[in-house]
Amino acid sequence: MPEGPSIVLAKEATSQFIGKKVLSTGGNSKIDKERVLNKKVTDIRSWGKHLLICFSGFTLRIHFMLFGTYLVNMRKENEARLSLEFVNGELNLYACSIKILEGSVDQYYDWSGDVMNDAWDRKKALAKLRGMPETMVCDALLDQDIFAGVGNIIKNEVLYKLYIHPESLVGRIPPAKLRKLVDEARDYSFDFLRWKRNFELKKYWLAHTRKDCLRCELPLTKKYLGKTRRRSFFCNNCQVLYI
DNA sequence: AGTCATGTTGACGA
DNA sequence: CTCGTCAACATGAC
């Protein structure tokens, strides 16, 4: 569920509720549900891994974390975190973190930092990377202040595709390579979106959860790396360690 | 059946 | 104050 492209799909799946009024609410969320009652959804947007259900004057920020899911016009057995009923259907959100953002949503987000957004700015991302030369690239890719929307799968795939060892230091990666990294983080995210839309994402994984390198056929290494201690799959033979 | 994971926050101590 | 570590949350896949 959680990486940026999946949130774009969630945005698409829920767009039918834009302009519709909330007729009733339910669920075990601790937010003030009265707040949205009889209010009209003005927009549904996304930023990185956040799904944003906008109302006049405030926004519901949905973060699905690791296990969160949503259903449109369907329900699960267990109680939803938040249910919103509209005249044309219902939206059920499960196991997610929900927060109300007061005021204009624009004041909370820099849209140019979201790899899926039209406003994505590669130059800003590059500038941020240049300001953290000692950071491991596996951590930098997961930094939502630089690559909002990039998650662990995208991280592993991008590094594998570009032959970059995950423990490489950002400041040691040649400039041309670093530019490619920034662009691939976005490009791969759109590949991810297309594949996920067709329910064939896993088919295209080159490194993530795989046993052997498709290039040299040696076994891939699986290790928990960086400050983030996230699972990394990489080829010790093909991926260059810039250090 | 037990383990693990596409994620993040907050508490706590050094 | 900042850093590292750990627990917490919660569910489906294998």
| A156-182 pLDDT, tens digit each | 999 999 999 999 999 999 999 999 999
Residue A111 approaches strand C within 7 Å at CB:
no
pTM of the model: 0.96
What tokens does A138 get?
């596996």
| Same structural domain, A50 and A137 | no
Answer with the one of A54, A74, A107 that is the final residue of a domain. A107
| Same structural domain, A69 and A16 | yes
Check residues 163 to 222 of chain A and report those whose beta carbon is under 7 Å from nucleic acid strand C.
none
Total domains in chain A come to 2
**DSSP E strand stretches across A95-199:** 97-102
Distance, in Å, from the CA atom of A38 to the CA atom of A33, rounded to the nearest integer, reads: 11
> What DSSP letter does each residue of A168-193 carry, written as one string?
-BGGGS-HHHHHHHHHHHHHHHHHHH
What is the identity of the amino acid at A68? G
Mean pLDDT of A129-156: 95
- Residue A45: pLDDT band (50, 70, 90) is very high
| Same structural domain, A51 and A82 | yes
Summarised one tens digit per residue, pLDDT across range A200-210 is: 999 999 999 99
**Given this model, what pLDDT does residue A2 score?**
86
Distance, in Å, from the CA atom of A117 to the CA atom of A149, rounded to the nearest integer, reads: 10
| Same structural domain, A116 and A229 | yes
Contacts of A232 (CB under 8 A, 6+ apart): A138, A155, A156, A159, A166, A221, A222, A223, A224, A225, A226
A77 or A137, higher pLDDT: A137
Residue A149 approaches strand B within 7 Å at CB:
no
Parent domain of A155? 112-234
